[in-house]
Chains A and B, each alone.
Chain A
Amino acid sequence: MEENTSPLSPRREFLDGVRDELPLLLGVIPFGLIFGALALEAGVSPMGAQGLSLFVFAGSAQFVSLNLISTNAPAAVMVFTIFIVNLRHALYSASLSPHVQHLPTRWKMLLAYLLTDEAFAIAQRRYLRSGLEQAHWYTLGTGVALWTSWQASTLVGVLFGARIPESWSLEFALPLTFMAMLLPSLVDRPSWAAAISGGALALALRSLPYNLGLVLGAMIGVAVAVLAEKDR
């Protein structure tokens, strides 16, 4: 890993952040396309689909929402499910918080709005290197790159999604992306316990309404992992 002795300029940090985020966009853009297309299929208006991407701006929560919308779930269930599915972002917030404490509130708000799985994955590596005076520009670069591609791909999906041939099975890229995000998080036995028990319970509780099995499975998975860690 390259060692920066002198701080880089804000512009350079920002562009580095954008550049380092690019490989992950390959995985993100298909989802934006699929999301736009599936949203219309679930009965969401084009404005509503773009609204979810703009205001919620969290891919997995948006996909789970579509499922709830098509089953006519109450708004409170959808909000609670989004909360649980996005609870992992509290971890990212906690992890980056020492590096943003000195920033003005508007910077904190902006970086928080842009804090997604894929942006965090790249940004946190920057903080392992030195010369951090302008590193928030790097984090901004990762977030802006991801935001732009997510909004644009949602829009294209809304406009043209219905024309993607079904035989491409593009929706299968979604579980594969979750898998690609899951694998690096399996670092020890408790984290394996979290994933396996979360997954098994989500399957066992599939019959519960409004995808509540997903939420319950994940919550119990966390508890199992904490207990597994304690036992060692």
Chain B
Amino acid sequence: MSPGTFWLAVAGGMLVTFGTRVSFFILPHQDRLPPLFRRGLRFVPPAVLGALLASMLADPIAELGLVGAWPRLAAAGLAAAAGWRTKNTWVTIGLGMAALWLLQALTG
């Protein structure tokens, strides 16, 4: 990617991001939004985060194969279980990293 293309994309990325964040702060008639749009908005975080998480977990499989990636998948599974029980960010991230390090140390 050339520097020109890169900075163009950065400028565009800034506009769409800021535009999204400021949208409802400055929108005058929010009651006129299509109801379907308002209902869908609530599901954007789980859909986007689910898609991002799935592809991030698939990346090491594509890179290392199922055998090479299993410590990450096992650590992710443990983190998900602990995170679901505790709903605690620190527990999810900390336990996931600790589990990965342990599994990597055990499997050399």
Contact = CB atoms under 8 A, between A and B. Distances in A.
State which size class the interface on B falls in: 35 or more
The A interface is mostly helix, strand or loop, or mixed, namely: helix
A9 to B, nearest CB: 24
A87 interface: yes
Interface residues of A, number: 94
Contacts of B97: 169, 172-173, 176
Contacts of A222: 40, 43-44, 47
Nearest to A105: B26
A1 interface: no
Contacts, number: 259
Given A60-B52, A179-B79, A226-B40, A172 B72 contact: yes
B50 interface: yes
Contacts of A183: 80, 83-84, 87, 92
Interface string B1-34: 1010111111111111110111111110010000
B99 to A, nearest CB: 10
B46 A198 contact: yes
Contacts of A45: 3
